[in-house]
Amino acid sequence: MTASAYLAATTRGIKTFAGDVGEGFFEITHNTLALLGIVVVVAAALLGTRADLRAEGEQRLTEWLTARKVAAMGITPELGAIDRATAANPSQLPREQANVALWISKKYRVAPEPVAALVAEAYNIGRANKLDPTLILAVMAIESSFNPFAQSPVGAQGLMQVMTQIHSDKYEHFGGQYAAFDPKTNMRVGVKVLHEYISRAGSVEGGLKWYVGAANLPTDGGYADKVMAEHGRLAQVARGKSVPLNDNSPALRAAATPAPAPASTAAPVKVAALS
């Protein structure tokens, strides 16, 4: 056999071998993919008829993905945490509310986003209870300086420093006494108490005296004056007036004093101090 003939035979042998290997690989791959497809179809059909298996699979997948995220981030993610946040964009509030929110944020050195949510809530609650929202905010300012976790030596708690033990019945509608530290819940309970006291006393200032627990005392220690002065400043801010943050003048007080609320026929009772 000549060299050229030997080379040609060798080339044909290599081509035949390569073809056989390729055909075998195709058969194996094709059969494997077909088997995999059958497994997928059967699994999908089974999961479609077994809700319990589907739920378990989803749970395991979620746990696996969460574990991967925790390993990568070093913290446990919780996408629903945003639902617990008391915050809003001040720029999305009506101009009056935005003015008040930004002024409070600067004066009391609190973030504008949670203040914006509190201001919006004060306007909603005030409208429902026929109370000036800037009065509600003024009470919060004097009572807690907008600290939702504040507590007084006598047990008044939250933004509006409501005596949680005394008004525990009101918190039952919100899940219990710990709701005193939820800003919006504390506001709703506090406004309810304030509204009752204003109606009982027949005036805003009289109601504030009840609110601070000085109903049967000769003086409230200047509490009502402080609230009404801050109420006046906030009312001016709401109207677009420029009010310095360090303005402690009582001159604005009279301009924002609301009309007295109708007197209630209920007999006055002694109230424990609220702050």
Q: How far apart are CA 236 and CA 99, in angstroms?
A: 10
- Kindly report, residue by residue over 73-94, the tens digit of the pLDDT: 677 777 788 888 899 999 999 9
Beta bridge partners of 156: 163
Residue range(s) in the chain whose domain bears CATH number 1.10.530.10: 90-256
* Under 8 Å between Cβ of 245 and 107: yes
Q: Per the confidence metrics, is the pTM higher than 0.85?
A: no
Q: What's the pLDDT score for residue 7?
A: 60
Phi, psi values for residue 151, rounded to 5°: -145, 135
Instruction: Indicate the SS3 state at residue 149.
Output: coil
Specify the CATH number for 90-256; select among 3.40.50.300, 1.10.3720.10, 1.10.260.40, 1.10.530.10: 1.10.530.10
Nearest to 131 by CA among 210, 179, 187, 209: 187
**Looking at residue 50, what is its pLDDT?**
67
What are the tens digits of pLDDT across the range 112-145? 999 999 999 999 999 999 999 999 999 999 999 9
Helix pair angle (204-211, 223-238), 10° resolution: 120
| Residue 176, SS3 per DSSP | coil
pLDDT at 194 (0 to 100): 97
pLDDT of residue 269: 32
> Which 3 state secondary structure label does DSSP give 163?
strand
Cα–Cα distance for residue pair 252/185, rounded to 1 Å: 30
What is the full per-residue pLDDT of the chain (275 aa) written as tens digits? Answer: 666 665 666 666 666 655 665 565 555 555 665 556 666 666 666 556 767 766 777 778 777 776 776 677 677 777 788 888 899 999 999 999 999 999 999 999 999 999 999 999 999 999 999 999 999 999 999 999 999 999 999 999 999 999 999 999 999 999 999 999 999 999 999 999 999 999 999 999 999 999 999 999 999 999 999 999 999 999 999 999 999 998 877 655 544 444 443 333 333 333 333 33
- Spacing of C-alpha 211 from chain mean position: 27
Residue 162 Cα distances to 102, 176, 191, 216, angstroms = 25, 14, 10, 18
